[in-house]
Structure 1
């Protein structure tokens, strides 16, 4: 089995990184082969150049590697903070360049971009772990939950991943060591259940 783990947080000491590490350990214990990407550490270029406007191939070996890993993954784990109800720009750019036509989705024969695509990803499960500094109740009551819709419907759902589990851990900045320990235990349990 093969898992793709992506973390997008500029701080190596972040809860996002701790969650990605917990997921990695859990999957390694279950015998998974893992592709792990820390987008900030790797300095992934989130800007889609003009030559990629058709979004079916790239001259970047890094992008091609990420696309190959996404297509092969049986399980996908994404860890990132909630910034303005969105993922960090580096992660959004990763999605733009890697979840591309003929890798993550396609159009049936005779159907153009105005039609309904079909998902191509083989992953059975995707898990998205978010941190936030806004208490969950306030986040939902004021803003809804844009990240839930984004990951479940607009990205993974459209690309054929039927089981998407997303958790928000908040407020991260005011969390206690005990809360963080409990959150990381939940991350580990959710990953183990999906594996």
Structure 2
């Protein structure tokens, strides 16, 4: 299987990077083809220019490559911190430029964009791993867990990827090394369960 893994965290020593390393290792161990992108390390350009808005726009090579990869992916894994109830801006820009009409979704014939899109993603399964310094109860009661709504409802469900799973690890800032090891084991278990070993 082709699995796209997208990481968005500027600190290479972050727990997000540790998660990404465990994800990629688990996938490769199971025989999958991994297309991994560390958006900050690659200096991904997040700003969507007006010339790219049209479905038929000519895309820069870097964006066209991301679009091709996400369109071919059998699974998608996103890793990022919870910043103000949102993904980091670079990841939002990736969504703006890559999760686009003709790649991830399409409007039905005669629809001018006012209806409900048809999902086009080939991927059946999507995993999102988040880190946070907010207690789970406060996240739910005070903030309403906006990341769940963004990724499950606004992006993956809309684009046709129905098997969605998200895991938030918190509170990271006060976590022990042992806690982080346990969390990484959880990551490996979930990745292995959702993307089992290739049998040819």
User: Alpha-carbon deviation of 1:149?
Assistant: 0.6
User: Alpha-carbon deviation of 1:58?
Assistant: 4.2
1:1-195 alignment to 2 at 5 Å?
1-195=1-195
Aligned length: 195
Deviations 1:83-120 (A, max 9, x none): 00000000000000000000000011122200111000
Deviations 1:30-55 (A, max 9, x none): 11111100000000010001211215
CA RMSD after TM alignment: 0.9
Take 2:10 and 2:55, find their aligned partners in 1: how far apart are those partners? 27
Take 1:16 and 1:164, find their aligned partners in 2: how far apart are those partners? 19
Give the conservation status (yes or no) of the 8 Å contact 1:55–1:97: no
Query: Secondary structure at the residue paired with 1:43?
Result: coil
Take 2:182 and 2:144, find their aligned partners in 1: how far apart are those partners? 25
TM-score (norm 2): 0.95
Take 2:28 and 2:188, find their aligned partners in 1: how far apart are those partners? 12
Take 1:171 and 1:134, find their aligned partners in 2: how far apart are those partners? 6
User: Alpha-carbon deviation of 1:28?
Assistant: 0.3
Displaced runs of 4 or more, over 4 A: none
Deviations 1:118-169 (A, max 9, x none): 0000101000000001111111111011000100000000000001100100
Give the conservation status (yes or no) of the 8 Å contact 1:56–1:100: no
Q: Which runs of 5+ in 2 are unaligned?
A: 196-200
Instruction: From the superposition, tell whether residues 162 and 174 of structure 1 become closer, same or farther in structure 2 (CA, over 3 Å).
Output: same
Take 2:4 and 2:137, find their aligned partners in 1: how far apart are those partners? 31
User: Alpha-carbon deviation of 1:56?
Assistant: 4.5
